[in-house]
Amino acid sequence: MPFIRHRGVEGGKIGVLIVNLGTPEATSYWPMRRYLREFLSDRRVIEVNPILWQVILNLFVLSTRPQKSGKAYDKIWNKARNESPLKTATRAQAEKIAARLSAIPGVVVDWAMRYGLPPIAERLEGLVAQGCDRVLLFPLYPQYAAATTATVQDKAFDALKCLRRQPALRTVPAYYDHPAYIDALAQSLGAHLQSLPWRPDRIVASYHGLPEEYVEKGDPYYDHCAETTHLLRERMGLGEEDLVMTFQSRFGRAEWIKPYTAETIEALPKQGVKNLVVITPGFAADCVETLEEIAIGAAEIFHEAGGEHFSLVPCLNDSELSIEMLATIIEDELQGWR
């Protein structure tokens, strides 16, 4: 059989794909239902019996949850671009990281969502089509959890199964204790505190929750959150009573890791805490969990319980601090590839 030379075999470029959780395409019922169905059908997210869960999901959860979630998203929706703030921020992060890394020849930066659009498979194929024979996959979750980091990697590996010409793949590990990440959090928190006309009596670091069962099975998420909080306290010169760790976004009836953010915030005014600042270190970009659940919902809980001043520190988003931090981590992980 004669040797056949195929065109388009040029390679040598390095792709960087940043990936965040995902977002519905609109706040109305059917877009919300499609998004929630994909998200809540993920076996990494919901680990109960899959047959039983599909019955519960389709008969009960998806009949009411889309309307409730749609109302929450509608409160924080980026109406100018007709998209969620998470999508706006993640796109901006990718564009600014690309500009920051432009001095490195042959690096191509793109972004994707684990659930919704743009999908991971599409963006991986796009990087390969642009000549990337190596790809650095960057799940934007500082603290590792199987329900977040692992499912991004699962989806990427599944996508590679469909490619004849697979790129070499690296994944960025959890960066919960990376000096650049802790420094960015500390600078962001410090600048926010200086901007307030009042001083907080307490600072709450609120992370996304996780079922206790997942931690008992070996998930390191709780330990990662605790270490981030510890390092942030050290960096800011704060004690354990000054900066407390809590967990939000509980779903279902199972026990989740504690203490719960809502219950903690509701109890603080009775303890003499009248001025409260909340920071959400586990979120790389503002989303419904930070803008609606905390900035709106938690603030209402605090004020109704007798609190006076409440302020949420914005996520790092596409700030200069964020881009410098993310680019530093990427450059660390590209060692040996350039």
SS3 content of the chain, % helix, strand, coil (to 5): 45, 20, 35
Find the mean pLDDT for residues 91-97.
Answer: 98
In a domain, 44, yes or no: yes
Average pLDDT, the chain: 95
Instruction: Report DSSP state, residue 6.
Output: P
101 and 45 assigned to the same domain: yes
CATH code where residue 257 lies: 3.40.50.1400
In a domain, 4, yes or no: no
Find the mean pLDDT for residues 178-198.
Answer: 98
In a domain, 114, yes or no: yes
285 and 246 assigned to the same domain: yes
Q: Please tell me the distance from the alpha carbon of residue 129 to that of residue 106, in angstroms, as a whole number.
A: 13
For residue 2, what pLDDT is reported? 54
Total of domains in the chain? 2
Share of the chain above pLDDT 70, in %: 97
Please state the φ and ψ torsions of residue 61, each to the nearest 5 degrees: -60, -50
Whether the per-residue pLDDT at 251 is higher than 90: the answer is no
162 and 215 assigned to the same domain: no
168 and 193 assigned to the same domain: no
78 and 187 assigned to the same domain: no
164 and 80 assigned to the same domain: yes
222 and 241 assigned to the same domain: yes
Predicted confidence (pLDDT) per residue in 286-295, tens digit:
999 999 999 9
Query: In the structure, what pLDDT confidence band is assigned to residue 10 with cuts at 50, 70 and 90?
Result: low
165 and 238 assigned to the same domain: no
Predicted confidence (pLDDT) per residue in 134-155, tens digit:
999 999 999 999 999 999 999 9
Write down the pTM of the prediction: 0.94
Range of the domain at 38: 13-174+321-333
Whether the per-residue pLDDT at 83 is higher than 70: the answer is yes
Interhelix angle 62-76/29-40, nearest 10 degrees = 110
In a domain, 234, yes or no: yes
